[in-house]
Structure 1
């Protein structure tokens, strides 16, 4: 039997799981839906800002909008005075519509099109330049518009030399010379580093501080660096994760399915605490911690968390519409698809156990476990939301709800598609009220 892997929750989530509202929304919306908690986003953002205050570091938090398309999170970022990280013309437009000021945007992504660069320059957004040809196009646009472009130069990580993102040593020097002669305000450097390794980020951040000093010899401003995102989220308890990892076998998954790897669903240092650890660490070869180096150099630190700002900020609800008994386990079919639970996009699986919310109102004895995997309402053999045989404490039945917790970060909509003409799950903003909860549909432009 596969071990249970329950998700961390919050009091607000636990209260809503016991509220009739979930079934009412399932009935009224006629399909799966996502629940959003704007207050949790505010709390996470405040935690990151507090770390900068504690360390005495000039820092700026940008919400990585790609992590969720909902309007409410960009709206909260605007109200709180956060920046927003965008990587497309559509994301930029929606951030502006949510009230985010142009100068509070950072535009990332490789090989940005001229239309995106033009709007970014006109709005005064900060632009992370990824290649020399992109910089040349940006310089020409800035000259044509008679505007000054705000620029970060993205450094290819020496720790990941095969990354397709960033400028190598030779291109960086060429870029500095171009910036010194062009219509740009070269504000500093950035990098795109895969994974969650604190040491790699600390060492590369120190290198960028030294690059700022070199850039200043060209007469450039160079007073900020961006270390991007990569702040892990802690989804499950350490002991549960250890037990899962040590006992995992092919027979724990439908059809003996195997995966190349999983997200580290338990992380002992996560979210704002990961930023705290980065600032407190001493880079290799340096005599002081990163916070001290930043202060001494007069360099601000920019961070671009996505998943970490959305920790516990939402969950996803499906309705069970079929139960098929197999040899020793059940195959549940729900009213949606794995395209609304996007970890499958990475040939992986969203592992925390979904919570079963029975349709009946009376008490049900815990007579389980009842192992079951979860399939989609499509005709694709491979379309499973959960291949793992979840040990449900109650026997699932048609009309029950399955709630996948903590899905706001990347899971909800990164890979969504109206396949089979199934409607995309709507997003519902839920807030506590005097009596119970109140809700509204998210106002994301269509």
Structure 2
């Protein structure tokens, strides 16, 4: 029977998405669950392309010269790399395997950004050979880049110098002002082996004002470097453009009402550790807001500061390009009644929802897709556990108020998981295979068709 206590079960409904709804309505998901025999992710590449075009239009409308690199670490599926290559974007990589994968799926070497700290020699050799842009994180890494360039083909190593954010002095990324001064001298000494193209930074969090402030500061550093005779015409702001999974009222109501009784075993979370599932501005609109922001101690907007200095803006969004670009599907394979609620077990693990990695929870409500027509409606709270022998392996600690009683064989769809959820933490634990990625094609067809993603490794 349905239960009605507590009087209010916190919910976090996702923003509507026509493409995801069309996949559900098509009846394809039960067929895929049967064919694949386990959990799977489905990908919607058209959403990625639409997000990319929106960012490119935002730069063009603002009159800012810029270039978008897709942060591959957010999702390793090949189809998103292919979309980036086909639509005038680059790819941000941090390993030799990621670099080779990007090249193999059509990304030109000069459209690669190589980030990450303390890059190994194999990665640096590939980056220099293919004219990728390297974000240099430390002085010893700069020395390694110069050595690699001098030993390799006759072409300069293209670099940005990564800056330690003054507002985050304990970050492990970037160089101090003193280290940057030394780095600029070494860039001059490197001569034709090196092309210093500007500066970059890694800034934690999603606030836009600090990004505008630091970007404007780096425009000033570009001017200084130019006066020294270096090229220095580009500034990279990294990623961190927020997206919204839900509306403002739902998000704030959830934060105000959720309590331990709403979670399996009275689990508690620190609300500050939750991803901000609503943002007043998101995606391309967040980029527009960033460009319209007036940096502290600056004259005019960030867009004006960049254009006046003739500096190109680079960015490496991941989640913001993957908004509504995919979802994750599990099959319910067992259910227990516990104190008026259900405890479900699905045919997968929480490793496919990587917020658990951050001692947090993926909060958007999963969608229940009944295997057979539901016979009763009401409020049926249930938490979702994994098919492993670990007590803490829960996909959803929160008791979700499902509109029907979940039963064995039903599907649970976790929405909008393409950004960082699908493979940041996946592992073949218990010798379970990794969930496959299914690329959905809606193009001019009455019913969507699909194929497996072509990721190499």
TM-score of the aligned structures, taking structure 1 as reference length? 0.98
User: Using the alignment, how far apart are the partners of 1:423 and 1:259 within structure 2?
Assistant: 30
**Equivalent in the alignment of 2:408:** 398
Matched, 1:231 2:241: yes
Paired residue secondary structure (2:291): helix
* Candidates 152, 155, 177, aligned match of 1:147: 155
* Candidates 344, 369, 372, aligned match of 2:382: 372
RMSD, aligned α-carbons: 0.9
Deviation at 1:431, TM superposition (A): 1.4
Matched, 1:445 2:456: yes
**Equivalent in the alignment of 1:158:** 166
Deviation at 1:434, TM superposition (A): 2.1
Matched, 1:262 2:274: yes
User: Using the alignment, how far apart are the partners of 1:48 and 1:372 within structure 2?
Assistant: 39
**Aligned partners of 2:72 and 2:318 also within 8 Å:** yes
**Equivalent in the alignment of 1:93:** 100
User: Using the alignment, how far apart are the partners of 2:354 and 2:438 within structure 1?
Assistant: 19
**Equivalent in the alignment of 2:3:** none
**Equivalent in the alignment of 1:171:** 179
> Where in structure 1 are there 5+ consecutive unaligned residues?
none
User: Using the alignment, how far apart are the partners of 1:435 and 1:225 within structure 2?
Assistant: 45
User: Using the alignment, how far apart are the partners of 1:248 and 1:9 within structure 2?
Assistant: 23
Paired residue secondary structure (1:309): coil
* Candidates 307, 310, 313, aligned match of 2:319: 307
Deviation at 1:9, TM superposition (A): 2.8
* Candidates 288, 305, 322, aligned match of 1:276: 288
Matched, 1:436 2:443: no
**Equivalent in the alignment of 2:261:** 251
Q: Deviation digits for residues 96-139 of structure 1, max 9, x if unmatched? A: 11100100000000000010000000000000000000000111
**Aligned partners of 1:9 and 1:312 also within 8 Å:** no
Deviation at 1:363, TM superposition (A): 5.8
**Equivalent in the alignment of 1:388:** 398
Paired residue secondary structure (2:125): helix
Q: In the comparison of the two structures, how many residue pairs are matched?
A: 444
**Aligned partners of 2:374 and 2:404 also within 8 Å:** no
**Equivalent in the alignment of 1:16:** 23
Matched, 1:38 2:48: no
User: Using the alignment, how far apart are the partners of 2:178 and 2:297 within structure 1?
Assistant: 23
Paired residue secondary structure (1:187): strand
Deviation at 1:364, TM superposition (A): 4.4
User: Using the alignment, how far apart are the partners of 1:81 and 1:187 within structure 2?
Assistant: 20
Matched, 1:354 2:366: yes
Moved more, 427-436 or 115-124: 427-436
**Aligned partners of 1:155 and 1:190 also within 8 Å:** yes
**Equivalent in the alignment of 1:425:** 435
User: Using the alignment, how far apart are the partners of 2:404 and 2:61 within structure 1?
Assistant: 46
User: Using the alignment, how far apart are the partners of 1:269 and 1:421 within structure 2?
Assistant: 42
User: Using the alignment, how far apart are the partners of 2:77 and 2:299 within structure 1?
Assistant: 44
**Aligned partners of 1:358 and 1:401 also within 8 Å:** yes
**Matching of residues 287-302 of structure 1 within 5 Å:** 287-302=299-314
Q: Which consecutive segments of 4 or more residues in structure 1 shift more than 2 A?
A: 362-365
**Equivalent in the alignment of 1:411:** 421
User: Using the alignment, how far apart are the partners of 1:417 and 1:233 within structure 2?
Assistant: 27
> Where in structure 2 are there 5+ consecutive unaligned residues?
1-5
